[in-house]
Structure 1
Amino acid sequence: MDPHLLRTFVAVAEAGSFSAAAERLGYTQSAVSQQIAALETDLGLPLLRRRPVEPTEAGARLLEHAGPLLLRLRAARADVLRTAALPAHRLTLAAAPLALNPALAARLARGRAEQPRLRVRLRTTGRDLVAAQVAAGEADLGLTDGITAPSDPLRLPDSGPMTRIGVSEEELVVALPPGHPLAGRTGLRLADLVDARWLATPLCPLERLRDLVGDGFRAGLDYQGEDVHTVRNLVAAGHGLTLLPASAGPGVPLAAPRLVHRVELVHPSLPPGPAARLAAALSPSS
């Protein structure tokens, strides 16, 4: 299967239009049509309905594989190019919105102080994108996070060979609006909050809470952003509860189940140089 044709197929499926995909890719519409036809001929199945443009059942199955396949190809290219790259003094660190807590910010400061010539560009991105950006060579190092049991690794999307190091774990708190009846408690059980209204937000996915405890956790408001300040404002206004790491602000400690906010450093194989030294500085043993 030609990756070039697969990339065009994904663009058409996402855009829902041959012309929009052609504009995105910089091709003519005719070229896009020919590439889709070539892919369908190769597989012997129609992949897209034309009016409206949408995946067939076979096309939908192919889309499930396409993202990981194309990512692994980008990761392989980036990994090969790194072997010939000279040590850079400009690095990109991709971090999930809640990943760079005060302890890690302090380690980053010490790491930069040890390398005065190093210039770090910090890019905030969704936690599901951190590993993919590192694998594809769009970032040199990544900090991703999530809710897990103590010492348990995070569930990360398959991004190819990658070093993963747990660099931080801190307790979780239930963020409540002022005057909430539970605000004075010394601890809260998640099982006692399944019937409460919660914020549906990427920072604390309700699907993860349901995996841990069971059904419930109805959404009071669906917020698709990842700005912590906005989340806290929504909680304060009574739109729903959420879980946050203790360093992100006040709340009642989560007593059970025993869960933590875990941060992992992800990076490819690093030759000796600035990136490897900064990775060492961010690690707990530094």
Structure 2
Amino acid sequence: MTLDDLRVFVAVCRAGSLSAVARDLSCTQSAVTQHVKRLERQPRGVVPTHAGRVLEAAASEGLVGLELALRRLRDLADGESGTVRVATGATTVRHFMSDAVVTFRQRHPKVNLEFRTKSSSRACFDALADSDLDLAWITLGRPVRGIEQRPVVELPWVLAVRAGDPLADRASLDAACADLGVRFSFDTSVADWDTALLLAELGVGRAVVPALPGLPVPGDGALRLIPLPSLCPLPVGWAVRRWDALSPPTRAFADLVESYRRDGARP
């Protein structure tokens, strides 16, 4: 099999359709069929045999390693150029990477930074596995096959309330809730932490959020942030396919972000 054979084979296993892969690759269905002779045809699409599934798993891992190696070789040949592609949440760059971005641009002016917004850590994992992304900023969780996770910082939790809220000046949240008869309910959903903080600041409700970099604790102005030390901190950090296959500029950007977040000072 050639690399193209393996790419088509893996694509068909994932899509379950010869015609869909043919459209994506702008080729004929018969051409795709020649790459997947080991597959069983069933009434609803294409399903690999057991042997095909074994080959698919091995091919997927092998293609990732080969593509990373080829990209690293191109980066080495180009020197200090190329692109660093990062998957992030909606507010990640603002709270975790803004200072690192400035320093990186100064140190690596010929390297492009490309940020792609994803809605969840799961979406970041999928993007790493299926695209040309280099890094993803995630909430760390259970191991994911083919993905390496690296913790960078743990974020304590806080309760965000509007100044003047009965809970704003209470030292003990549990005791305050009992005294005031406060019960928490969930009647508003948000997509990111900044939106939750804004709604709390507007007095629309209260929000339990991580203490994001740049937010003072316990808080001042129209917003109050009450520490919640009884809750386990939220671990966040990097996810990659393979650290040892990252290009030098990509490693440099990841290291910069870690330095700022761990030291809290300009490296």
TM superposition score normalised by structure 1: 0.56
Alignment deviations for residues 73-127 of structure 1 (CA, whole Å, 9 cap, x no partner): 3223323433323211x53340320543535322322333445565533333454
CA contact (8 A) 1:7 1:70 kept: yes
How much is the aligned-residue C-alpha RMSD, in angstroms?
5.0
Question: Structure 2 vs 1, CA of residues 87 and 185 (structure 1 numbering), >3 Å: closer, same or farther?
Answer: same
Q: 2:235 aligns with which of 261, 271, 286?
A: 261
Q: How many residues align?
A: 235
Asked if the contact 2:80–2:111 (Cα under 8 Å) also holds between the matched residues in 1, the reply is: no
Tell me if structure 1 keeps the 8 A contact 2:151–2:236.
yes
Give the distance between the partners of 2:108 and 2:72, measured in 1 at CA: 24
Please give the residue correspondences for 1:1-286 in structure 2 after superposition, counting only pairs within 5 Å: 3-36=3-36, 38-40=37-39, 46=40, 48-49=41-42, 51-55=43-47, 58=50, 61-62=53-54, 63=56, 66-88=59-81, 91-97=83-89, 99-100=92-93, 102-115=95-108, 119-125=112-118, 127-128=121-122, 138-139=132-133, 142-147=135-140, 155=143, 157-159=145-147, 166-173=151-158, 244-247=209-212, 253-256=227-230, 258-264=232-238, 268=244, 277-284=252-259, 286=267
Partner Cα distance (2:59, 2:131) in 1: 19
Q: Who is 1:211 aligned against?
A: none
The amino acid of 2:32's aligned partner reads V
Instruction: Determine which structure has more spread, i.e. the larger CA radius of gyration.
Output: 2
Tell whether the 8 Å contact from 1:13 to 1:55 is kept in structure 2 after alignment: yes
Change (3 A) 1:4 1:243: farther
- Cα distance in structure 2, aligned partners of 1:233 and 1:58: 52
8 Å contact from structure 1 (residues 79, 268) kept in 2: no
Q: Identify if the C-alpha distance between structure 1 residues 175 and 58 changes in structure 2 by more than 3 Å, giving closer, same or farther.
A: farther
Residue of structure 2 equivalent to 1:212: none
| Partner AA of 1:138 in structure 2 | D
The 3 A distance-change label for structure 1 pair 93 and 197 is: farther
| Counterpart code for 1:262 | V
Tell me, yes or no, if the aligned pair for 1:170 and 1:260 is still in contact at 8 Å: yes
User: d(CA) in 1 for partners of 2:13 and 2:238?
Assistant: 33
2:220 is aligned to none
Give the superposition deviation at 1:281.
3.0
Deviation at 1:146, TM superposition (A): 1.1
Q: Tell me: CA distance 1:197–1:82, structure 2 relative to 1, closer, same or farther (3 Å).
A: farther
